[in-house]
């Protein structure tokens, strides 16, 4: 009901191009998990409106917490792109992102 009583389970996100991985705690977004792990993930608004935290989900199940179609193009949506600040994990995933140098 309304997402209030979900299973409390952590998942692992593996960064495809960096040979790094981090834990995403229950209730945290993919971006929050990355930031908690100290990763320099690009971010700006953190509410899903600017697209700065855009990444590509290569493998695994995620849930879009808001409608991404306002920010991402149809092609990007078809290619598996997501906004990390509004993405929760439903399984371990592999994700591609350009971290800040």
Partner 1 sequence: MKTFYVNVRYLIVPVMTVLTICGLFLGGIYAWTGVFLFGLNIILDTATKNIHLRADFDENGNSFGIKTFQYIVMYLMLPIFIVLQCTLGWNLYQFTTSSAVTIESLIGAILSTGLWAGLGIIYGHELSHNKKEGFSVSRAVMALSGASHFTYAHVYQHHLELGHQNDPATAPRGRNVYWHTWLSHFGQSKFSFDLEKQKLERHNKSFFSLDNKWILGYLYSLPSITLFVWSGGIIGIVALVVVWSISNFLLEALNFMGHYGLIREAGKPVEHRHSWDNDNLFTSWFFIEIGRQGDHHVRGETYFWELDEVGAPNYEIGYFTLFLLTLIPPFFRKYTQKYLDEWDNNQASVAERQIAKDYYEDTKHLSNNILVA
Q: Which positions touch partner 1 (CB under 8 A)?
A: 2-5, 27, 29, 31-32, 44-50, 64-66, 69-70, 73-74, 85-86
Select 19 or 100, whichever has its Cβ closest to partner 1: 100
Taking the C-alpha atoms of residue 30 and residue 82, their distance in angstroms, rounded to an integer, is 10
Select 59 or 67, whichever has its Cβ closest to partner 1: 67
We find the least distance from the C-beta atom of residue 94 to partner 1, in angstroms, to be 23
Select 76 or 92, whichever has its Cβ closest to partner 1: 76
């Amino acid at each position: 009901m309304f997402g209030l009583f979900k299973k409390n389970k952590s998942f692992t996100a593996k960064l495809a191009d960096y040979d790094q991985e981090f834990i995403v705690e229950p209730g945290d977004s993919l971006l929050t998990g990355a930031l908690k792990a100290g990763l320099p993930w690009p971010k700006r608004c953190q509410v899903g409106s600017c697209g700065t935290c855009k990444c590509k989900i290569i493998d695994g199940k995620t849930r879009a917490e808001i409608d991404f179609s306002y920010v991402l193009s149809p092609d990007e949506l078809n290619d598996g792109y997501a906004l990390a600040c509004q993405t929760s994990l439903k399984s371990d995933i592999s994700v591609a992102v350009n971290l800040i140098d």
